[in-house]
Structure 1
């Protein structure tokens, strides 16, 4: 078991100390399994896969520790501790073996972002690096939400405010990556970039609870 999987197991053990936290996790797990976390809505299509994905295991077969990591990232975003933005690229990622093709698509990543893909990896902590050379404006949740229509059963929207993160970088994970790895990067580096299979977007997550680097 890897370090990030151990971290997820410890998180799941902590959640089990509170019946309310367990119930909340399973509610989000059920929404994820039904596809409700990845069909547009307030977070955008591709959101769930950006938090974490596995081609081998659909969400209903994930270890519960991975659902714990998934819900933790989602909660950090809702509370405003973590914010995200989406970045256009030249296409969707191909297989891991097609690093030349993936690197070519990443050449079309929009400014002010630049991506360097590790062409060998060989056990590296990430698949590459995403950098931004100028201050980045990003929307951050206030921790509150509102209903855009009078129907309280409708989809709600997050209340956000603009903030700025200075020039920096984030480890890039391409294709499938467990939520626990996404969470580990957020704690270790204060940011992580995800380019999941099927998405033309890189999702950049920034941890504002951790100082920039």
Structure 2
């Protein structure tokens, strides 16, 4: 078991202390399995895969600790402890083996950012790094929701307020990466950038109380 998998196991054990937390996790697990986390609603298409994804296992077959890590990240976002922003690239990532092709796509990342792929990787903690110059203006969830219209079928929207993230660097994870790894990066570095398969966007997640400029 890897360090990040041990972290997820610990989160799952903590959740089991509360029947309400277990029920909430399984509700979110069911939504994830049904594809409802990626419908483009409150959080946007690609959100679920950015938190964590696996080509080998569908969410229905994920180990329960990975669902625990997934809901932990989602809960931190909803509570305003973590924010995210999406960054354009040159396309969606190809296979891990095509590092040259992926690096070429990352060279077209939005000009505010520099995405660098580790061309060797060789057991490194991440696939590369994402850095940016100057502070980023972001939206920070308040933990509250509202209905944007009086329409009977209107979906709830997240209530946000403006916030700022200082200049810095985040580990970059490309393609598939377990939610536990995303969570570990947030705790270790206060930030993580995810470029999942099928997405032309890099999703940058920042933990406000942990993030400090530079890795």
TM-score range, shorter-chain basis?
over 0.9
Give the structure 2 partner of residue 205 of structure 1.
205
How far the C-alpha of 1:133 sits from its partner, in A, is 1.1
How far the C-alpha of 1:154 sits from its partner, in A, is 3.1
Aligned equivalents of 1:165, 1:179: Cα separation in 2: 23
Give the structure 1 partner of residue 184 of structure 2.
184
Within a 5 Å distance, the mapping from 1:77-96 to structure 2 comes to: 77-96=77-96
Contact 2:85 2:204 in 1 (8 A): yes
Give the structure 1 partner of residue 65 of structure 2.
65
How far the C-alpha of 1:152 sits from its partner, in A, is 5.9
Unpaired runs of at least 5, structure 1: none
Q: What SS is found at the alignment partner of 1:20? A: helix
Cα RMSD (Å):
0.9
Give the structure 1 partner of residue 164 of structure 2.
164
Aligned equivalents of 1:166, 1:209: Cα separation in 2: 12
Aligned equivalents of 2:41, 2:143: Cα separation in 1: 17
1:22-65 CA distance string (max 9 Å, x none): 00000000000000001110100000000000000000000000
Aligned equivalents of 2:211, 2:4: Cα separation in 1: 21
Aligned equivalents of 2:71, 2:153: Cα separation in 1: 22
Aligned equivalents of 1:191, 1:110: Cα separation in 2: 18
How far the C-alpha of 1:155 sits from its partner, in A, is 1.2
Aligned equivalents of 2:9, 2:184: Cα separation in 1: 12
Structure 1 stretches of 4+ moved >6 Å:
none
Give the structure 1 partner of residue 133 of structure 2.
133
Aligned equivalents of 2:208, 2:152: Cα separation in 1: 31
Unpaired runs of at least 5, structure 2: none
1:161-185 CA distance string (max 9 Å, x none): 1111111000000000000000000
Q: Judging changes above 3 Å, is the alpha-carbon distance between structure 1 residues 211 and 131 closer, same or farther for their aligned structure 2 residues?
A: closer
How far the C-alpha of 1:143 sits from its partner, in A, is 1.0
How far the C-alpha of 1:211 sits from its partner, in A, is 4.1
State the TM-score, normalized to the length of structure 2. 0.97
Aligned equivalents of 1:209, 1:35: Cα separation in 2: 31
How far the C-alpha of 1:149 sits from its partner, in A, is 2.2
Give the structure 2 partner of residue 154 of structure 1.
154
Aligned equivalents of 1:120, 1:39: Cα separation in 2: 35
Aligned equivalents of 1:28, 1:150: Cα separation in 2: 26
